[in-house]
Each structure stands twice: as structure tokens, then as C-alpha cells.
Structure 1
Amino acid sequence: MSAVFDQVTRSESEKNYFDKIDEQIKAAKRAGKAVFDLSIGEPDLPPPSQFWEELAHGLNQDGACAYPALYGEDYLLNSIQDWYRVKYSTTLDRHEHVLPLLGVKEGIAHLALGILEKGEYGAYVTPGYPIYKQAIRMAGGIPIALHTMFDENYFPDLKKIGSRPVRLLYMNYPNNPTGTVLTKESAEQLVQWVRSHNIYLCLDRVYGRISKSEIFEDYSILSVPGAMDCCIEMHSFSKDYNLPGIRLGFAAGNSHLIQKLKQVKTLTDISVFKPVQYAGARLLQADRNGELESYFEANNSCYSRRFRIISEILDTHRIKYFQGTGTFFVWFEIPSLFKDDHSFCSDLFERTGVLLVPGSEFGEETGRWCRLTLSKPDEMIMCCAAHLDDFLGGCNG
């Protein structure tokens, strides 16, 4: 194992917290304790019916289990290209600007390997998913954290990069864990800034169609003039279409970045199972044609309803939380009597069985916040809300 990879994967201080959560759940269940897991952002809602129909069709095609084309089957590439053209008025070349992925996580890690030379700077926004920092380090790069705060609506001041020659910048909007949404105005300013500083931008849009508000703006950063010179977007079927286990996503944007991803992919894996590509293409066609509008509205209405259940409890106990409309997470500040986020989450779990994620797992500066997911059945959300109400009431008492 290389020294760089060992540094990323074996450091006890950076052990994947979700591995620890899995251990907690198993130990609690062995002890016969009820567990209410609001930690993992795994959708509980069903995928669109078109997926199952096309998957069944694809499984019955000749060659369904043969090796797929290395860089994606034409029917999926065509669907991605047409999806961008119709939804975002953005013209892409399916061979130059598009690449299917085995989920966005793969693309994020492989992009750093393809772009960064040893010792080059890569920047990422916190609070955010830990993979960005780890990808930069695994590629031998030097990570720079751009800390964001509640009062700044969790959007970074890019001037904090200073004079350091950053090569690659990772951003995730709508943001996990805060729910901050990238406005069109901010996107235009962002593209202008990275272009002027010769930085490549990777925008992780895994929560692109999810909102806790029933009204939201859906657009692509690639529609901003000049974005194709320096930007790449990554989309996933895991969250938007409620298909986390099938491992299908895609990257779209700057041709140089797509080519670098292809070079890494040639050495590491093959493309997605062909019937899954068939089904993914069908979903993009349905989305492009407006067939899924009621589907997304129903999903977001559900998340909005669940958010109101939790926010009412937080309001009752005067707990500060961020009103970000994106994603299906609730990001809230812990009561002042707790030492830190880990002690709060540990005490909550021990007393109630409700499992949350400490905010510091998304960035060291967020040690007094934590994340709760709304991607669980209504019955569990209501049960957890009652437990949280009792727990916070005890804290105030």
C-alpha cells in the first residue's frame, strides 16, 4: 500500500465515521436496543416506475450480461446529451463532454487522480462530504479547506484561497449537510472567478432535484457562459431518482476533465451494467419530456412535510437550524450545555436510540452542529421527533 493511500485510509483520526455508525448499530441491536437511524442519507421513497419497466426490458436483450462499452452505451450518452439540451439549453458532444459513472463518489475520487500532480493544491468547501478532501490527498495533492459559516449562508469566500495556485476546486450544491442551494447569480460569479484564476471546478450535484421547499430553481452551471471552459458537473441517480444501490451517475462538462476521467477509468473499471444503462436512459428521457414532474413534486412534498415535523420540535426548544431548502437533511446547532457535537449525538443515542451524525464529520469548524436525515419513513420521523422533543426538554430542564 502506498504511503499516500495509507495516510488517507489508515489514519485513525480520519476513519470513516459511517463505519463507526455501522458498528454502533450492530452493537445496539445485539444488546436488544431499538435503533432509529437518521444518520445515513439513503432515500426511502420508490424510484419512478419507468425504471423497472426498462430494466426488465434491458435484462431480456441479447448480450445484456456482456461487457458494456468502456465509456458508456450510445443510448445512455444520447439521453444525457438530449437531457442537457432540452432541460438546460446546453449543447454537449456525447463523446467529448459526457461520461457515465459507477456513482458520483467514483467520479470525484478519479477526477483528482487524473488532474492533480503530487504537491498541487486542491480546494474543497466545508461543511461537506469527506470524500473531497480524501480524494485530493489520495492523489498526492495538498487539500485546502474553504470554511463556510451560517451567517454566510454556507457559501465560500474564494478569496481565502489567497495566492496558492489551486488546480482543482470541489463544491457540492445543493449542499450536504446544510441544504444551501447555489443561486444562478452565485453560479455566474463562481464561473467568472474560477476562469480568471485558471482553476478547474467540479460541482457535485447529487442532490440536484431534491428540495425541502415545494418551489425551487433547477438549472445547470454548464448553462453559464464560459462554464464549459473550466467546469464539470456530476449527477447521480441515487438521490434524485431514489436508486442508491444501482450505482449509476454521470459527469458532464469540460472535455479535458472528461478525458482525464476516461484515462483513469481505463485503468480502474468498466462501465455500468448494460440493463441499468438502459433504465437510466429511460429515466432521463422521461425527465426531459416532463413525465416526472409529478414524481419530483411528490418527493419534495414528502421531504417538506417531514422537515416541518422536525423543525417544529427545534423551534419549540429554540434550537438554531439552517433554513437551506436543498437536500433532505436538517442541519442544527446543539444545545450549549453539551461539550461538543459528538457528546450530544452519543448522549442522544444512548438515551433514545436516535442516531445522528456529528457536524464535525463534515468539517472541524462545525463541532457544535449535527445532521439529521429526512429520508426515512414518516412513522420513523414522527417517532424520532417525539424522542428528540423529550430529550431536548430534559436538556432545558
Structure 2
Amino acid sequence: MTGSKIRTADRLQTVEEYYFSKKLREVRGLMAEGRPIINMGIGSPDLAPSKAIVESIQKAVLDAGAHQYQSYQGLPELRQAISGFYKDKFGVDANPTNEILPLMGSKEGIMHISLAFLNPGDEVLIPNPGYPTYTSVTNLVGAVPNYYDLYQENGWFPDLEVIQQQNISKVKLMWVSYPHMPTGATADAKQFETLVAFAKKNGILLVNDNPYSFVLNETPTSILAVDGAKEVSLELNSLSKTFNMAGWRVGMVLGNAEHIDAVLKVKSNMDSGMFYGIQKGAITALQSLQDWFDGLNKVYKNRRDLMFELADKLQCTYDKSAVGMFVWAKLPEGSKSAEAFIDEILYDKNIFITPGTIFGSNGEGYIRFSLCVTEDNIREAIGRF
């Protein structure tokens, strides 16, 4: 007797396996064949958290109650640390009691926010190019992606007048990400003001995804620093890149109490709180002194200078003022497609670079190098050309 085939949910037809999941399988296969692959594709920090952060979690494991369920809202002292961090770094006042929600990484926040605010059929403004997860989560919750164009000549910032001229009556939510991933473009206070005004005018929830605030960026900014932004804005942030804690899964969302409570309703049905020891490590991270940030940026600056040399070898052009842990580079005129370009380098030189197309159609003609690669490996890559 054969069992009937169990059908998956229709929503799975709306998403594909994450590009890096597929491509890294291919890369691992090449490595298994003995090929000396240098992976410049993924933004997973290879550096370690500070000694103080690691010691905090080690000590916390022995605390009474460390292994019990934790509050859905996180430890009060963690929310207090996030509040202090935002005040110190961004000049933003956020009430730790009801305007801050710790997350298990900011990526889960994208799902929680979407579940909390989107009904099937609602439209979502998504940047092109932008983080692919905005699209996949929008599709998974039954909402409709509505892409807005970002172009190099406009500083990778949206033309809000062009968007306004479209029919955006069904738009409920808008994703922005400054510093921008993948391009490294930044937005200043004036640009954030125009985004907040646009959101207010159109009754749209604006979400700034801000995990790259402190990497090679001398002027960290938050959309919540704009007067009145909390009425229409949420901000996601993360400890993954700033403190080399990617695998710890610690993020946060900030906004007004009503919006945070909506996200909490979803989150409290999805998990049972963050491990106590990780929260203690996160508190230590958020209290890091300036020398931590300076040391991190020194490492990334040295790597970026070498990555510029590699981009020069490939006759690519790039913006030296871009920030974050990537180098976004434009392919030389007359090049093949971005995917064909990186595949040729992968199979010919054993170097994996990300094609810009995975971030949207406006990423065609661009490639992205990750700075999560040692200086020795970047030099080795340069030597292969």
C-alpha cells in the first residue's frame, strides 16, 4: 500500500531556497574536490566577540535560574542597556519598559513585523536592490511586493516623488535599510526626514533595518532620531556585525509602545525567550567602550583597502565613501552578466564573489565583496590575477 503524497502549503511556492544556501553547497562541493576556494561571498563575521563579552556568558551560565524560561521581553537590564546604547550612539530616547523589544537576531524581526502588520493582499514597498529576505517574508505572509528603484546616480536613495505618483493606496509597510545593504550607501538626517514625512502622508509603517550602523561608518544614524518618527517608524538593529556575535542571534526592534506591543504579540507565540547567558553577554557588548569600535574598524579598513586593490584588478569601479562590511563594485563596461562573471572567477580562480543580481534586478552589472575575509586571503586572491 502506498501512502498519498502530502502536499506542501501553497505559500512555499512563493519562495525559493536562499541563494547562499544553494551556492554555498556548490562551493562546498568544489572544496571537497580539493579546490582552494576563497569565499568572499557571505557577510558572516570571522572575528571574535571581545573577551569581556565571552566571559559574561561563561559566568552567567552558573547563575541561579540561568537555564529556566526567560521573559518574552528579555531581561529588564538588557532593555535598559539597549536604551542607553541608543541614547549614547544615536541621541534617541527609547523607554526600556515598552519601546524596546530584544529579538533573536534582527532577521526574525522582519518576519514578526510582517506578521503583526500585514494582511494578505497588503502591499509592501521593497528596495531594489535590497536584502532578499524582505521579499521572501512578504510572500510568505501573503502580502504583495511592490519594488521601488534605487540607482547609483541617486545615491541609492528612493525617488519618493516617483513612488508617490504610483497607486500606493494598498501599501501598508515600507522597508528601508541605511546604511544600505548591499551598496553601503548612507542616508543623512534630511533624507530620513523626507522618508518619515512620506510615511506619515501615506499612512505607511516605515521600517529601517540598521545592522551596519558601526562598520566603517563615522556618523551612525537612526531614523528614530527624526522628530515624530516613532509615530510611523520602527527600527531593527543587531549585535551580529557590530560585536561579532552573528551566531549568538541577538537583535532588537525599537518604536512606539503600540507598535512594539503588536510585534510582541507575535513573538510571544513563536519562542519562549532568549537564553539568559546570551542576554548577559549582550549587555556587556552594548556597554563596550570606543576602543572596541576603533579596533574593529581598523581591521575592516585594512581589509577594505586590499579589497579595493582586488576590485581594481577586475577593472571594477566602486564608491570609497560607502560604509559597512562589503565592497559594492560596478563591473567594467561590456562585461557578461554578474552571475556569469562571478562563475567564471569561481571556476577559473577559485574565488567566490556575490553577484549583485541576488539583491534585485538593479543589482545587474554589480558584484559584492565581503570584508569577512582575512588580509592573507585577500592578498592570495589578488595574487591569483
Residue 167 (structure 2) pairs with residue 163 (structure 1): yes
Name the aligned partner's letter for residue 209 of structure 2: D
TM-superposed deviation, 1:324: 4.4
For residues 96-117 of structure 1, the C-alpha deviation after alignment (integer angstroms, 9 at most, x for no partner) is: 2111101010001111111011
Whole-angstrom CA distance in 1 between matches of 2:271 and 2:230: 26
Pair 1:184-2:224 in alignment: no
| CA distance in 1: counterparts of 2:282 and 2:248, whole angstroms | 10
Please say if residues 187 and 221 of structure 1, whose CA atoms lie closer than 8 Å, have aligned partners that are also in contact.
yes
Q: SS where residue 179 of structure 2 aligns?
A: coil
Identity rate of aligned residues, in percent?
27
Contact kept? 1:102, 1:272, Cα under 8 Å: yes
Inter-CA distance 115–84: structure 2 relative to 1 (3 Å threshold):
same
Task: Map 1:195-206 onto structure 2 (within 5 A).
Answer: 195-206=200-211
Instruction: Say which SS state the counterpart of residue 146 (structure 1) adopts.
Output: strand
- TM-superposed deviation, 1:7: 2.2
- Give the count of matched residue pairs: 375
Give the unaligned 5+ runs of structure 2: 1-7
Contact preservation (8 Å) 1:232, 1:252: yes
- What's the counterpart of residue 332 of structure 2? 335
TM-score normalised per structure 1: 0.90
**Which one-letter code corresponds to 1:382 in the other structure?**
R
Secondary structure of 1:207's counterpart equals coil
Cα distance, 1:366–1:84 mapped onto 2, change above 3 Å: closer
- In structure 2, the residue corresponding to 1:268 is in which secondary structure? coil
Out of 60, 63, 67, the position equivalent to 2:62 is 60
1:180-329 alignment, distance < 5 Å: 180-211=185-216, 216-284=218-286, 286-287=287-288, 291=289, 293-315=290-312, 318-329=315-326
Rounded Cα–Cα distance in structure 2 between residues aligned with 1:325 and 1:237: 20
Task: Give the whole-Å Cα distance in 1 for the aligned partners of 2:369 and 2:69.
Answer: 40
Give the 3 Å change call, closer, same or farther, for CA 272–150 of structure 1 in structure 2: same
Distance 1:324 1:8 in 2: 37
**Could you list the runs of 5+ residues in structure 1 that have no partner in the other structure?**
391-397
How has the CA–CA distance of structure 1 residues 361 and 191 changed in structure 2, closer, same or farther, with 3 Å as cutoff? same
Query: How does the TM-score come out when normalised to structure 2?
Result: 0.93
Cα distance in structure 2, aligned partners of 1:26 and 1:334 = 26
Kept in 2: contact 1:72–1:99 (CA 8 A): yes
One-letter code aligned to 2:207: C
Q: Distance in 1 between matches of 2:383 and 2:183?
A: 23
SS at match of 1:60: coil
- Structural RMSD (CA): 1.6
Q: What corresponds to 1:105 in structure 2? A: 107
In the TM superposition, residue 255 of structure 1 has moved relative to its aligned partner by: 2.4
In 2, distance between residues paired with 1:324 and 1:127?
A: 19
Residue deviations 1:294-334 (CA, integer Å, cap 9, x gap): 11112112212222212234346542223342111111122
Alpha-carbon displacement from aligned partner over 1:77-125 (angstroms, at most 9, x marks no partner): 1211222233333322223211110101000111111101110111111
8 A Cα contact 2:130 2:359, kept in partner? yes
User: 1:337 deviation in Å?
Assistant: 4.5
Q: Deviations over 1:266-285 (max 9, x none)?
A: 2211221111111111221x
Say yes or no: does 1:381 pair with 2:378. yes
2:146 partner letter: I
Residue 12 of structure 2 is matched in structure 1 by 6
3-state SS of paired residue (1:251): strand
Separation in 1 of the partners of 2:138 and 2:314? 40
Assess, with a 3 A threshold, how the Cα gap between structure 1 residues 321 and 26 changes in structure 2: closer, same or farther: same
Per-residue CA deviations over 1:122-157 (Å, capped at 9, x if unaligned) read: 111121110011111111111111111111111111
Mapped to 2, the partners of 1:22 and 1:312 lie a distance apart of 25
Q: Does 1:42 align with 2:75?
A: no
Moved more, 330-339 or 187-196: 330-339
